[in-house]
A and B are shown apart, each in its own frame.
Chain A
Amino acid sequence: MSAQQPPSRTASVGPPNAGGMNTPHGQGPPPPPGPPGQQSQNLNQIVLEYLSKKGYSRTEAMLRRESANVDAEGRPVPSRAEDTGGRKYFTSFDLTLQWIDNVLDIYKPELKRLLWPLFVYSFIDMLSEHFMRDSQEFFNAYRNHFEAEHENDVRALAPMSLPEHVQTNNVAQLYRNNKYRLTMSNMAFMTLTQFLESKDREGGATIISIMSNNMDIRNVDRAAAGSERSLARLLGKQNGDQDVPAEDEGIPGHHPGSANLDRNAPSVLSKLSLGPMPMEQDLMDDVKAELQDHDTSNPPAPGQNSLVDEFEHKIKREPMDDAPSREALPLPPSTSRDVAMEVQKIREYRDRFHIDGRSSGVGPGLSVTMFTFHNTFDSVNCIEFSGDNSLAAVGTAESYIRVWSLDNRPLTSPTDPADFQPSSSRRLIGHAGPVYALSFAPSVAVPEPQTNGHANGTSESHDSKPRYLLSSSADSTIRLWSLDTWSNLVVYKSHSSPVWDVRFGPFGHYFVSCSSDRTARLWSTPQIAPLRLFVGHDADVETVAWHPNGAYVFTASGGADRTVRMWNIQQGSAVRLFTGHTGNCTAIACANSGKMLASADDRGEILLWDLATGRLSKRMRGHGRGGIWSLDWSVESTVLVSAGADGTVRVWDVAPNKDAGGKVIGEGGAGNKVDGSGVSGGASGGAKGKTKKDVVVSPDQISAFPTKKSPVYKVRFTNMNLVVAGGAYLPS
């Protein structure tokens, strides 16, 4: 035996050694079968025959096993997927894809979420491991699975073809430098690990290494995770196309709602003060006195509350501990104008058209006043209405702003020359680039006083008109305009890129802007430098909104980021972070109650967030593609209106869906209605003939108001719950 062993050993060990260098070419064209291969094969055969003849069965078995991995030419057959170079990602990804397709249905929705990060990380790994051709093939083979949900990311990754591109591509860097967080229920995760371990050699190991290197997988107990992961919910999901990311899934890697991005952060949310800003004592006294005067001079109609009662009722809230402190947020002391505005607000509040949501069975019969601009040649970038509904301003791509008075009153200025004929519109010229956003200083229409309560009543009604306008532009400046002299007062420069949005705070004085430089900034009118920088977004900050108490702002971004963040003004820190949008965010609005936030994206989805708990309240669909450009809440925060590129104004019920169980299943079935059939008058003009087929309207929609080829840029509720919308007629 000792005489036979040396040849057998060389025969079996030799080829793997030789083949070791061949490994990368495993799939290449076969080299011409060399004589040594033939020889070794024959030699093996001879030795095996000899061994079996002699009865050395154990040695024979050993030899057979050792030579099993060698093919006819003596080169090793790669048995482990890792040894196949770039192909290993194909095999492993394909394996997982197949398995998830066949897995038990209740795990499918959860496991499907795994595919996108696997796809991205496989692709990036392939590129950085210099498998350039394989990576292209891989990307093109599987990209169609993700086009629907990750359209932008797929497009951003598509041009990458060299390892250097991984370094320069924004999106790739984002994925590389962060771990993709994914939450799974325990059972799904166990099934997955079992599967991967069993397929260890066929690619499971590759998947496991991607998961451990690049992903942060959290396990939750299905029972503990509440209704969101309940079985009923999952079952309801599978027949709808409700394939949406979870709230904590993705790159930021945060606990749902929490803005703390530390990986080991506790899942406790910082406390928010969402109550209304307490009124100054002086102002409150003045307003009360004023209201008393009003009440005595024209007593409330039967069934109507007196204004003082209404005021007390509105001001008084049981727990005042959730109100922000006035000291933290310095505001200018109130003036007689503020008193007049507050008084008028109370009157409007009492006399408003009440909207009580959908609880009574039918939706409220809202009216929308639509202002359409003609002959704009698509140069309108934004439309804004003043708080007293006397002015409408339009920012154009031609760098100027045009302001109209809605009641055709001539817009005069004390600086007009004597022979000047003031018309009902004015141009404000100053910006050196397209104007992207406008914001009027807060104002309330105070009617001509019919009481004798005031000596100089006329000057006061005059006083309540908006006097200032902010505009932001591609020239990266923000300008403050006086609406008395129709001239530019101040230029605020600090942003380094186009400024996408600017908003006056609810009390004036402060305003917030956001820009393509990925920051949002807080300003006050007397300071030419920003007071706060809000940094954290990984892409352009597209839009901003204020919390009604003025202590928080919200920003939303597009591009690769797609998050909505909430910032504390006092510290300039992020207090909430919401993920879940699949498109670029285009509009946000906070409810007047201060408890809810609505955000909308350019795929036509509206998401409602509960601020205190930091959780998603619900998703609503119905708008066509192209973006929802404006959102607003009714006075009672029971109804949301939205308007956008598809030329419709839609009204939504914001009450959260009742407990997940039955309701969601109903949603998947008959509850869904297709636009145009379920809504009376919802059959819209030809403008969105294409979208009509494929847009599914969620049952939360109360009504829809179509226009004729007029994208709606702005929609807002007045203090009396009338909806005002503005759009531009764009014949194709």
Chain B
Amino acid sequence: MASPQLQNGHPSTPPTTDTANKPADSQPKADPEAPLTSQQDDGLSKRPRDARLIHTVLQNLGVQNYQERVPLQLLDFAYRYTSSVLSDSLRLSAEGYTSGAQDKRRAAAGDDGSNITVTALRQAIASRQGYAFEAALPKEFMLEQAQERNRVALPKVERGYGVQLPEEKYCLTGVGWGLKEEWDSEEEEDEPRVNGTAGAAPSAAKQEDEDMGGVDGTGEEEGDEEGEGKMEDIFGEGGDGDEAMKED
């Protein structure tokens, strides 16, 4: 439980230092002798250039041993980071947000002939900074929030069965309405039941509402306790929702 946290947690922190210089490093220094292959590579020296770069960066940070997938993860991150920053800045400069500095220009990767300006690049980086690398909100702010939230007493618990669920609109238990074929196919195999569910569901739900205070999701539990006949109806309805949702 913890190691994956660390393994997966780390890429979110080290890359900040890593990629901060990584795009800067790797792009201007395209010359092949830059990768510093002199580092001992355990004889596995037929790695791609970027992997060796990562290796040296890691070693520079004092990481001597790492799993094979660490460079891959970092490379993936670096690629995604640079590509998204570039595409953001492409968009930014295309939409004319950064018309100020036209002097320094760099040719884009030849997408549609438009150029990325340095300001656009800066803006794109700054706009990611906000959510990609700032791990937490300031503590003072959170303390205020906590004080406000913690002043409210714990809500009373209403009588119900099984685990209580939030209001139906917040649950994923509803019926997915978006899928026409699903309904059609079911109509073919078993027409009256669909009509039954469509018509009977509200009434059934209403009856349950009285029992359990409008918590529709618990209809499933109730089905268990009330008897077999009704359960299928209810589960049939829920099942459609689930399948629909998966397809969504």
Residue pairs across A and B with Cβ atoms less than 8 A apart, 25 shown, are A155-B62, A328-B154, A332-B159, A332-B160, A380-B4, A381-B4, A381-B5, A415-B235, A415-B239, A415-B242, A436-B5, A484-B224, A487-B173, A487-B242, A489-B165, A489-B172, A490-B166, A496-B136, A509-B163, A527-B155, A528-B166, A531-B154, A533-B142, A540-B135, A572-B150
Interface presence of A630 (CB below 8 A): yes
Knowing A482-B220, A535-B142 are in contact, say whether A381-B235 is a contact too (CB < 8 A).
Answer: no
- Residues of A at the B interface (CB closer than 8 Å) are 155, 158-159, 328-333, 335, 378, 380-383, 397, 414-415, 429, 434, 436-437, 441, 459, 463, 467-468, 474, 480, 482, 484-485, 487-491, 496-498, 500-501, 508-509, 516-519, 524-528, 530-536, 538, 540, 542-543, 569-573, 584, 586-587, 602, 626-630, 644-645, 711, 713-714
Q: CA A182 – CA B160 in complex, angstroms?
A: 53
Q: CA A406 – CA B195 in complex, angstroms?
A: 40
Knowing A526-B165, A526-B215, A534-B146 are in contact, say whether A509-B170 is a contact too (CB < 8 A).
Answer: no
From A414, A543, A572, A586, give the contact of B146 (CB < 8 A). Answer: A572
Within 8 A of A (CB), among B146-199: 146, 149-150, 152, 154-166, 170-173
Knowing A414-B232, A533-B146 are in contact, say whether A543-B2 is a contact too (CB < 8 A).
Answer: yes
Q: Across the interface, do B150 and A571 meet the contact criterion of CB distance under 8 Å?
A: yes
Within 8 A of A (CB), among B1-29: 1-6, 8-9, 12, 17
Residues in A whose Cβ lies below 8 Å from that of B61: 155
Residues in A whose Cβ lies below 8 Å from that of B75: none
Q: Taking the nearest CB of chain B, how far is it from the CB of A597, in angstroms?
A: 17
From A487, A516, A535, A542, give the contact of B135 (CB < 8 A). Answer: A516
New contact pairs (18) apart from A332-B157, A498-B12, A516-B9, CB-CB < 8 Å: A328-B154, A330-B157, A332-B158, A415-B236, A436-B8, A468-B163, A490-B166, A490-B171, A500-B9, A518-B136, A519-B142, A526-B166, A531-B149, A534-B146, A535-B142, A536-B143, A542-B5, A644-B2
Q: Across the interface, do B172 and A487 meet the contact criterion of CB distance under 8 Å?
A: yes
Q: CA A528 – CA B173 in complex, angstroms?
A: 15
Q: Taking the nearest CB of chain B, how far is it from the CB of A580, in angstroms?
A: 18
Q: Taking the nearest CB of chain A, how far is it from the CB of B243, in angstroms?
A: 8
Q: Across the interface, do A489 and B162 meet the contact criterion of CB distance under 8 Å?
A: no
Q: Across the interface, do B220 and A629 meet the contact criterion of CB distance under 8 Å?
A: no
Knowing A331-B157, A497-B136, A519-B142 are in contact, say whether A629-B164 is a contact too (CB < 8 A).
Answer: no
Knowing A330-B157, A500-B5, A571-B150 are in contact, say whether A490-B165 is a contact too (CB < 8 A).
Answer: yes
Interface presence of B145 (CB below 8 A): yes
- Residues of B at the A interface (CB closer than 8 Å) are 1-6, 8-9, 12, 17, 61-62, 67, 69, 135-137, 139, 142-143, 145-146, 149-150, 152, 154-166, 170-173, 215, 217, 220-221, 224-225, 231-232, 235-236, 238-239, 242-243, 245-246
Looking at chain A's contact residues, the main secondary structure is loop
Q: CA A487 – CA B155 in complex, angstroms?
A: 27
Q: Across the interface, do A490 and B149 meet the contact criterion of CB distance under 8 Å?
A: no
Give the top 10 A-B pairs by smallest Cβ distance, nearest first. A572-B150, A415-B239, A586-B2, A381-B4, A533-B146, A414-B235, A526-B164, A382-B1, A535-B146, A487-B242
Q: Taking the nearest CB of chain A, how far is it from the CB of B164, in angstroms?
A: 4
Q: Which residue from chain B places its CB closest to the CB of A522 in the assembled complex?
A: B154
Knowing A382-B1, A528-B166 are in contact, say whether A414-B155 is a contact too (CB < 8 A).
Answer: no
Q: CA A540 – CA B6 in complex, angstroms?
A: 11
Q: CA A518 – CA B158 in complex, angstroms?
A: 32
From A158, A329, A463, A498, give the contact of B154 (CB < 8 A). Answer: A329
Q: Across the interface, do B2 and A542 meet the contact criterion of CB distance under 8 Å?
A: yes
Q: CA A528 – CA B165 in complex, angstroms?
A: 9
Q: Taking the nearest CB of chain B, how far is it from the CB of A5, in angstroms?
A: 63
Knowing A415-B235, A490-B166 are in contact, say whether A518-B139 is a contact too (CB < 8 A).
Answer: yes
Q: Across the interface, do A525 and B4 meet the contact criterion of CB distance under 8 Å?
A: no
Residues in B whose Cβ lies below 8 Å from that of A497: 135-136
Knowing A429-B246, A490-B170, A532-B149 are in contact, say whether A540-B3 is a contact too (CB < 8 A).
Answer: no
Looking at chain B's contact residues, the main secondary structure is helix
Q: Across the interface, do B8 and A489 meet the contact criterion of CB distance under 8 Å?
A: no
Q: CA A385 – CA B149 in complex, angstroms?
A: 33
Q: Across the interface, do A525 and B163 meet the contact criterion of CB distance under 8 Å?
A: yes
Residues in B whose Cβ lies below 8 Å from that of A630: 1
Q: Across the interface, do B146 and A330 meet the contact criterion of CB distance under 8 Å?
A: no
Residues in B whose Cβ lies below 8 Å from that of A645: 2-3
Q: Across the interface, do B8 and A714 meet the contact criterion of CB distance under 8 Å?
A: no
Interface centre among A328, A434, A459, A489 (most CB of B within 10 A): A489
Interface centre among A159, A380, A524 (most CB of B within 10 A): A524
Residues in A whose Cβ lies below 8 Å from that of B156: 330
Residues in B whose Cβ lies below 8 Å from that of A485: 220, 235, 238-239, 242
Q: CA A509 – CA B160 in complex, angstroms?
A: 11
Q: Across the interface, do B3 and A332 meet the contact criterion of CB distance under 8 Å?
A: no
Q: Across the interface, do A535 and B155 meet the contact criterion of CB distance under 8 Å?
A: no
Q: CA A405 – CA B30 in complex, angstroms?
A: 54
Residues in A whose Cβ lies below 8 Å from that of B220: 482, 484-485
Q: CA A5 – CA B241 in complex, angstroms?
A: 106
Q: Which residue from chain B places its CB closest to the CB of A496 in the assembled complex?
A: B137
Interface centre among B3, B62, B231, B232 (most CB of A within 10 A): B3
Residues in B whose Cβ lies below 8 Å from that of A415: 235-236, 238-239, 242-243
Q: Taking the nearest CB of chain B, how far is it from the CB of A165, in angstroms?
A: 11
Q: Across the interface, do B9 and A498 meet the contact criterion of CB distance under 8 Å?
A: yes
Q: Across the interface, do B231 and A414 meet the contact criterion of CB distance under 8 Å?
A: yes
Q: CA A95 – CA B138 in complex, angstroms?
A: 39
Residues in B whose Cβ lies below 8 Å from that of A482: 220
Q: Across the interface, do B172 and A491 meet the contact criterion of CB distance under 8 Å?
A: yes
Q: CA A584 – CA B1 in complex, angstroms?
A: 13
Q: Across the interface, do B172 and A488 meet the contact criterion of CB distance under 8 Å?
A: yes
Q: Taking the nearest CB of chain B, how far is it from the CB of A305, in angstroms?
A: 33
Interface centre among A441, A463, A484, A644 (most CB of B within 10 A): A484
Residues in A whose Cβ lies below 8 Å from that of B165: 480, 489-490, 525-526
Q: Taking the nearest CB of chain A, how far is it from the CB of B221, in angstroms?
A: 8
Q: CA A139 – CA B158 in complex, angstroms?
A: 61
Residues in B whose Cβ lies below 8 Å from that of A332: 157-160, 164
Residues in B whose Cβ lies below 8 Å from that of A628: 2
Q: Taking the nearest CB of chain B, how far is it from the CB of A674, in angstroms?
A: 23
From A382, A491, A538, A572, give the contact of B4 (CB < 8 A). Answer: A382
Q: CA A482 – CA B224 in complex, angstroms?
A: 13
Residues in A whose Cβ lies below 8 Å from that of B137: 496, 517
Q: Taking the nearest CB of chain A, how far is it from the CB of B43, in angstroms?
A: 17
Q: CA A21 – CA B110 in complex, angstroms?
A: 59
Q: Which residue from chain A places its CB closest to the CB of B231 in the assembled complex?
A: A414
Residues in B whose Cβ lies below 8 Å from that of A572: 146, 149-150
Interface centre among B215, B225, B232, B243 (most CB of A within 10 A): B225
Q: CA A335 – CA B17 in complex, angstroms?
A: 55
Residues in B whose Cβ lies below 8 Å from that of A713: 1
Residues in B whose Cβ lies below 8 Å from that of A525: 163-166
Q: Taking the nearest CB of chain A, how far is it from the CB of B198, in angstroms?
A: 18
Q: Across the interface, do A441 and B163 meet the contact criterion of CB distance under 8 Å?
A: yes
Q: CA A644 – CA B243 in complex, angstroms?
A: 39
Q: CA A508 – CA B242 in complex, angstroms?
A: 25
Residues in A whose Cβ lies below 8 Å from that of B217: 489-490
Q: Across the interface, do A489 and B171 meet the contact criterion of CB distance under 8 Å?
A: yes
Q: CA A415 – CA B165 in complex, angstroms?
A: 20
Residues in B whose Cβ lies below 8 Å from that of A159: 17
Q: Which residue from chain B places its CB closest to the CB of A586 in the assembled complex?
A: B2
Knowing A434-B4, A496-B137, A586-B2 are in contact, say whether A463-B164 is a contact too (CB < 8 A).
Answer: no
Q: CA A50 – CA B93 in complex, angstroms?
A: 83
Residues in A whose Cβ lies below 8 Å from that of B157: 330-333, 509, 524, 526
Q: Across the interface, do B166 and A527 meet the contact criterion of CB distance under 8 Å?
A: yes
Q: Across the interface, do B17 and A535 meet the contact criterion of CB distance under 8 Å?
A: no
Q: Which residue from chain B places its CB closest to the CB of A572 in the assembled complex?
A: B150
Q: Across the interface, do B239 and A508 meet the contact criterion of CB distance under 8 Å?
A: no
Knowing A415-B235, A533-B150 are in contact, say whether A711-B163 is a contact too (CB < 8 A).
Answer: no
Knowing A397-B8, A535-B143, A629-B1 are in contact, say whether A467-B150 is a contact too (CB < 8 A).
Answer: no
